[in-house]
């Protein structure tokens, strides 16, 4: 199913005279996790006028997230066309940074951007379910965990789905949206309306481990790391084969560095455990880099080195 199909569905509903399921233009949004994805997701909603409450239990992560939001606002003005209209101060002023999950009680939608680990996701989903109003929709930014598993940690199976934003979320205009078996039509339409309102194209896919994006990308990254590990080529050459020979914008190992090698490792573990497929067993090289603190761009070094973070 594509975004084109979605617009078609809406047009049909309108022609039949049914209620147009448009979300209110500016509703309170919650974001959980101020890491690589959280700040960009918050920026995307705040630029469109939504008040955003960003929760992370770690004050240092909140401070870092605020620094990245400021950088993200500058980047969006330089790189996005058309450039965002909202003045930087207005965008910053729409985001509240909180350490307490209780502050998310009244949001209409919460986008969960916590670490890609089953146990942490379970704890976050249970907390959100206990904290948020019954009408709140919970959207996970998970890379690989099936919606059905996440929804199972809540008592609101019909109001859970995945919005897999791309990185960097404030610059990428497409989102992989995953509907669980029990996600309601109303929930889906509300979220698609909100995404459209912030200028994101939705690509709707069915629920499965890794969905489409990471079911394909993660084994490719793992295989690329294995080629370095066995000495077929160094990381630079592996990536150049993809950029120079295939015309990809970025090679798999630079992509891994952009994602964060810890998140890649966690995603592979989720994929291995949910599919039982040994292709997803993380390479020793990937594990070793993460063990040594080389987490990619965010730590200044991964498969490649970066001068600035």
**Which positions lie near ligand NAD, rule CB under 6 A?**
32-38, 56-58, 61, 113-116, 120, 123-124, 141-143, 164-165, 167, 259-260, 263, 267
Q: Are 113 and 32 in contact (CB under 8 A)?
A: yes
- Return the residue nearest ligand NAD (CB atom): 35
Q: Are 62 and 54 in contact (CB under 8 A)?
A: yes
Nearer to ligand NAD, 40 or 84 (CB): 40
Nearer to ligand NAD, 48 or 101 (CB): 101
Nearer to ligand NAD, 99 or 237 (CB): 99
| Alpha helix (H) residue ranges in 25-101 | 38-47, 59-79, 88-93
Q: Shortest approach of ligand NAD to residue 225 CB, angstroms?
A: 16
Q: Shortest approach of ligand NAD to residue 116 CB, angstroms?
A: 3
Q: Shortest approach of ligand NAD to residue 127 CB, angstroms?
A: 7
Q: Shortest approach of ligand NAD to residue 231 CB, angstroms?
A: 28
Q: Shortest approach of ligand NAD to residue 172 CB, angstroms?
A: 9
Nearer to ligand NAD, 10 or 248 (CB): 248
Nearer to ligand NAD, 53 or 263 (CB): 263
Tokens of 195: 């995404």
Rounded Cα distance, 37 and 115, in Å? 10
The helix-helix angle for 284-291 and 261-275 (nearest 10°) equals 140
DSSP-derived 3-state class of residue 15: helix
What backbone torsions phi and psi does residue 12 show, to the nearest 5 degrees?
A: -65, -45
DSSP state, 244?
A: I
């Amino acid at each position: 199913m594509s975004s084109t199909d979605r617009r078609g569905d809406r047009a049909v509903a309108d022609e039949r005279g049914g209620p147009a399921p448009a979300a209110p233009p500016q509703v309170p949004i919650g974001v959980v996790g101020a890491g690589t994805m959280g700040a960009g997701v918050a920026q995307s909603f705040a630029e469109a006028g939504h008040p955003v409450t960003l929760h992370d239990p770690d004050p240092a992560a909140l401070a870092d997230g605020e620094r990245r939001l400021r950088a993200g606002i500058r980047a969006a003005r330089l790189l996005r066309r058309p450039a965002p209209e909202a003045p930087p101060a207005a965008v910053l002023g729409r985001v509240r940074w909180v350490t307490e999950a209780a502050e998310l009680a009244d949001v209409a939608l919460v986008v969960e951007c916590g670490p890609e680990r089953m146990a942490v996701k379970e704890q976050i989903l249970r907390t959100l379910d206990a904290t948020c109003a019954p009408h709140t929709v919970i959207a996970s930014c998970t890379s690989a965990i099936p919606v059905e598993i996440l929804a199972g940690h809540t008592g609101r199976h019909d109001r859970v789905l995945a919005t897999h934003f791309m990185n960097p979320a404030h610059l990428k205009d497409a989102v992989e949206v995953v509907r669980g078996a029990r996600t309601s039509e109303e929930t889906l339409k509300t979220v698609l309306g909100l995404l459209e309102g912030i200028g994101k194209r939705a690509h709707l896919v069915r629920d499965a481990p890794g969905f489409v994006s990471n079911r394909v990308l993660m084994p490719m990254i793992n295989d690329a790391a294995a080629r370095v590990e066995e000495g077929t080529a160094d990381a630079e050459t592996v990536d150049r084969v993809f950029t120079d020979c295939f015309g990809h914008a970025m090679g798999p190992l630079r992509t891994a560095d952009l994602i964060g090698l810890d998140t890649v490792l966690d995603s592979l573990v989720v994929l291995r455990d949910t599919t039982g497929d040994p292709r997803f067993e993380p390479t020793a090289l990937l594990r070793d880099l993460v063990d040594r603190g080389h987490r990619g761009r965010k730590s200044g070094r991964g498969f490649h080195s970066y001068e600035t973070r």
